[in-house]
Structure 1
Amino acid sequence: MLVAVMVCAWWTGKDLLKQYVKPQVSGETEELHIHEEIMEELPEPTLLYGMAVDSFNIVEQTIKPRQNLADILNPFNIEARIASELAQKCRKIFDVRQLAANKKVTILASKDSTQTAQFLIYEPNPTEFVVFSLRDTLGAAIVQREVRTVEKTIYGVINSSLSQSMQEAGGNPALTSKLVDVFAWQIDFFRIQKGDSFRVIYEEKWVEDQQIGIGKILAVQFDHGGQPYHAFYFDQGQGSNYFDEKGNSLRQAFLKAPLNFTRISSRYTMKRFHPVQKRWKAHLGTDYAAPTGTPIYTVGDGVVVEAGRNRGNGNYVKVKHNDTFTTQYLHMSKIARGMKKGTRVRQGEVIGYVGSTGLATGPHLCFRFWKNGKQIDPFSVKMPPAEPVAKQHQVAFEQIKQQYTQRLASLDQEQAPKDLRASL
């Protein structure tokens, strides 16, 4: 199923179908009739991007670096001024400067000797494409593809690594990341044990026969150290969240970590040998090693009280969450757009990107945490949870919980456990 969502001056692939079926006039009422015998003789048209394309030469190619719309269309008998006119006419629909190198374009050209382009189709992502018309009326349309949601299940037993165990069980890194996010405060995934297991009910997103991503995790049971941890996705009408079997929110007032990190390279300590200053001193922060450019998230709602640069911290942002807690994020490669003093931020919002500015030997985030004006180790603080399932929604939550609990319990019977060996 294709749905046109934005149109400029022209539409659509349906117009092309008119060349296959011609209405005829008969009788005094001049009603339109299509002879059944003609319809039976007509072959099914070949469809591409929802358009009948039998009367065109189809050329697929990859956009080269620094190639623009005029460059792409020039070999197909389209002058630069026409390409420029098309770009101007449709700039509110699609800015042709967004044509990206290494992306595919498809040209539908005439079958005569001129090989003149009639349509150009560009796919910016798997869920939509842009159709440019180069016929008598220049125009463009953005067409959304139908995205199907398929419910899936997965079960696995861990020998060493969650990431590889998930992959061996049929999952992928995106699902692993979502699972870790669900239990960010309940489970330390760097301390999972041999024999731990996971059962997950989740969504996959599909366009036609191509999987394009992971949707929501709907329910999880993660057995860790002999203890089962449960999570159930539930929408109370004012934003969704994950809750345990008692209806308590799994989300805390603060995220457990401000980024997806490779490792903790240095913990909060009163005595550490500084790698740049070459002397022993207190390290009142937690260093997270991660590649340059990794997004950094604010761990909780709050207001930016500082955003700037100095010699020691490099690029940094400081957020006041309430009268008790304040956090700071150092050595960023750059501060996210819009982050300045007075900006309100929400938990999980990107405030900057990992770098090595200031006194840093390599890319990492130094994360600092204050409680009542005193710097402390964030791992030593018991954070308050978010609100539980509201009383008026408890019956609905219990129904969903029971449904998913039964399905989770049966997964080890449907999918035999595997001995999954790997490393992080």
Structure 2
Amino acid sequence: MMERLMKFAALGVAWIAWGCGSGNTAASDDAETEEEIVEQNLLYGIPADDYRIEHGEIAPGETMGRILNRYGVGAATVDRLDRAAKTDFPLDGIRAGNPYTVFIHEDSLNTPHLDYLVYERNASQYVVFGLHSVDSVSVTLGEKPVSVRRQKKQATIDSSLWGAIMREQMPYALAAELEEIYQWSIDFFGIQKGDAFTVVYDERIIDTTAVGIGRVWGAKFTHAGKDYYAIPFRQNNRIQYWDVNGGSLRKQLLKAPLKYSRISSRFSNARLHPIYKVYRPHHGVDYAAPKGTPVRAVADGVVTFKGWGGGGGNTLKIKHPGNMMSGYLHLSRFAKGIAQGSRVSQGQLIGYVGSTGASTGPHLDFRLWRNGKPIDPLKAPSEPAEPIAAQNRAAFEFVRDRIVAELDGEVSDSLRITQLDSIRIGQ
């Protein structure tokens, strides 16, 4: 039984058992034995028709031992199961609110016996606790099969990307994916009512429940009347997103170093200082945001200054390629591991919004310098990363044309791009 359960639990789906039919032994040498296919009703790899099944949910403060005791499992067996489960999944790892299923059989005297308890760790993973006898227990990890359904969704923005995602009942993870893809091209805190997007993606399904998303196969974001396409393509052993001309969507600088509420002050050569009440240059952009909002490096670089910057409070400065320098002022604190001389990567957490120094409220004063001269962060040109290589141009255009056709209309299954390795032109 144990060997059989291990095989079923690994699959987590209905298995087909093959049996031999009765052949005609007097037939010719070419006659083959008929095979009868019997489909069993399996649940977590266990033949469900052999048991009475009950479902439950872990209550707050409930232990596995208490649940097992309710089904007549003694303390000695619980202790043996606890020792057997130490490596794969300790019994104290169960969490309130997670579901479980019990499999009960009745003996010849109609006495119920618990054979299996299955605990669901999350939407896809589960643990089968087998209670075969007082002296024989087992713990088997299983995973439900995940199917993929290709989706194409569209939405028009009223207030925010997240609002549009929720209104159209799309997966929440899609908003994070689009922000990740377009973070160098679109300031999502500056999007306008009437902006729109279309996206093609894989939706992951377990049973009949959507549990997340897979690859985004393409997107078109219309912002301020301009279309921004995102086309996935593999180059240098890495899948990235590109515009329709083969330019990388990844740029030298992020559009903004944080998720902010609003821009409270812009780049100016003569701004009335809110504290000192005199006109003086403000060579930065103030992003108003709650205290503790994460701040991220806008580009790869090296930390050249970390410390107290006078009126700028807690300050970081990072030197980037191309004689660029970025500054982050009024931080409440620095991220762990950030020190002068540290190398940081684009998008890495470097600090948190605060109101240190000469500040009237929590915000980030973000600054940029090129060749030592201050430039307006909102107008800073940002060169793209390496474009599509000449030897990859034909393959890229093959992928691009089919992705754009799917985004802008309907295409047959045969024309859809479903993999990005071994693209063959004219396939």
State the TM-score, normalizing by the size of structure 1: 0.70
2:41 to 40, 43, 46: 46
Offset of 1:131 from its aligned partner?
1.8
Are the counterparts in 2 of residues 67 and 101 from structure 1 also a CA contact under 8 Å? yes
Are the counterparts in 2 of residues 288 and 366 from structure 1 also a CA contact under 8 Å? yes
Are the counterparts in 2 of residues 131 and 141 from structure 1 also a CA contact under 8 Å? yes
Are the counterparts in 1 of residues 41 and 47 from structure 2 also a CA contact under 8 Å? yes
Counterpart for residue 200 of structure 2? 201
Q: Which amino acid aligns with 2:325?
A: F
Q: Which amino acid aligns with 1:392?
A: Q
Post-superposition Cα deviations, 1:7-39, rounded to whole Å, max 9, x if no partner, equal 99x835479999x9999xxxxxxxxxxx999x8
Q: Describe the SS at the equivalent of 1:11.
A: helix
Counterpart for residue 234 of structure 2? 235
Are the counterparts in 1 of residues 285 and 366 from structure 2 also a CA contact under 8 Å? yes
Measure the CA separation in 1 of the matches of 2:40 and 2:83: 33
Offset of 1:61 from its aligned partner?
2.0
For the pair shown, the structure with the greater C-alpha radius of gyration is 2
**1:358 to 1:188, Cα distance in 2 relative to 1, 3 A:** closer
Counterpart for residue 253 of structure 1? 252
Measure the CA separation in 1 of the matches of 2:205 and 2:80: 36
Measure the CA separation in 2 of the matches of 1:278 and 1:87: 69
Bigger drift between 400-409 and 132-141 goes to: 132-141
Counterpart for residue 100 of structure 2? 105
1:135 partnered with 2:136 = no
Counterpart for residue 218 of structure 2? 219
Offset of 1:75 from its aligned partner?
1.9
Counterpart for residue 366 of structure 1? 364
**1:256 to 1:194, Cα distance in 2 relative to 1, 3 A:** closer
Bigger drift between 176-185 and 100-109 goes to: 176-185
1:325 partnered with 2:322 = no
Bigger drift between 263-272 and 204-213 goes to: 263-272
Measure the CA separation in 2 of the matches of 1:303 and 1:92: 42
- 5+ residue gaps, structure 1, are 1-6, 24-34, 413-424
Counterpart for residue 118 of structure 1? 115
Q: Describe the SS at the equivalent of 1:182.
A: helix
Percent sequence identity is 30
Are the counterparts in 1 of residues 291 and 355 from structure 2 also a CA contact under 8 Å? no
Are the counterparts in 2 of residues 185 and 252 from structure 1 also a CA contact under 8 Å? yes
**1:243 to 1:71, Cα distance in 2 relative to 1, 3 A:** same
Are the counterparts in 1 of residues 314 and 357 from structure 2 also a CA contact under 8 Å? no
Q: Describe the SS at the equivalent of 1:245.
A: coil
Q: Which amino acid aligns with 2:70?
A: P
**1:161 to 1:140, Cα distance in 2 relative to 1, 3 A:** same
Measure the CA separation in 1 of the matches of 2:141 and 2:64: 16
Are the counterparts in 2 of residues 258 and 297 from structure 1 also a CA contact under 8 Å? yes
Bigger drift between 182-191 and 356-365 goes to: 356-365
Q: Describe the SS at the equivalent of 1:212.
A: strand
Post-superposition Cα deviations, 1:368-408, rounded to whole Å, max 9, x if no partner, equal 44546788753343233211112222111010011122222
Post-superposition Cα deviations, 1:200-221, rounded to whole Å, max 9, x if no partner, equal 2222111221111122322222
**1:64 to 1:172, Cα distance in 2 relative to 1, 3 A:** same
Bigger drift between 58-67 and 113-122 goes to: 113-122
Q: Larger relative CO (CA 8 A, sep 6+): 1 or 2? A: 1
Bigger drift between 303-312 and 119-128 goes to: 303-312
Are the counterparts in 1 of residues 353 and 364 from structure 2 also a CA contact under 8 Å? no
Offset of 1:247 from its aligned partner?
0.5
Measure the CA separation in 2 of the matches of 1:344 and 1:96: 42
Are the counterparts in 1 of residues 119 and 128 from structure 2 also a CA contact under 8 Å? yes
Measure the CA separation in 1 of the matches of 2:157 and 2:254: 25
Measure the CA separation in 1 of the matches of 2:305 and 2:106: 63
Counterpart for residue 422 of structure 1? none
Post-superposition Cα deviations, 1:58-103, rounded to whole Å, max 9, x if no partner, equal 2322223343332333323334554444344333323444322221
**1:97 to 1:218, Cα distance in 2 relative to 1, 3 A:** same
Offset of 1:254 from its aligned partner?
3.1
**1:254 to 1:171, Cα distance in 2 relative to 1, 3 A:** same
Q: Which amino acid aligns with 2:233?
A: F
User: How do 1:10-49 residues align onto structure 2 when only pairs under 5 Å count?
Assistant: 11-13=6-8, 45-49=40-44
Are the counterparts in 2 of residues 153 and 411 from structure 1 also a CA contact under 8 Å? no
Offset of 1:315 from its aligned partner?
9.4
Post-superposition Cα deviations, 1:300-337, rounded to whole Å, max 9, x if no partner, equal 334567889999999998766557435548336x946x
State the TM-score, normalizing by the size of structure 2: 0.69
Q: Describe the SS at the equivalent of 1:300.
A: coil
Post-superposition Cα deviations, 1:339-375, rounded to whole Å, max 9, x if no partner, equal 67776554334567x6769689999663644546788
Post-superposition Cα deviations, 1:203-261, rounded to whole Å, max 9, x if no partner, equal 211122111112232222233333322221112142211111110011112322344x3
Measure the CA separation in 1 of the matches of 2:399 and 2:202: 16
Are the counterparts in 1 of residues 186 and 255 from structure 2 also a CA contact under 8 Å? no
Offset of 1:111 from its aligned partner?
3.5
Q: Which amino acid aligns with 2:122?
A: N
**1:370 to 1:221, Cα distance in 2 relative to 1, 3 A:** closer
- 5+ residue gaps, structure 2, are 21-32, 412-427
Measure the CA separation in 2 of the matches of 1:310 and 1:370: 16
Offset of 1:410 from its aligned partner?
1.9
Q: Which amino acid aligns with 1:221?
A: K
Measure the CA separation in 1 of the matches of 2:399 and 2:85: 47
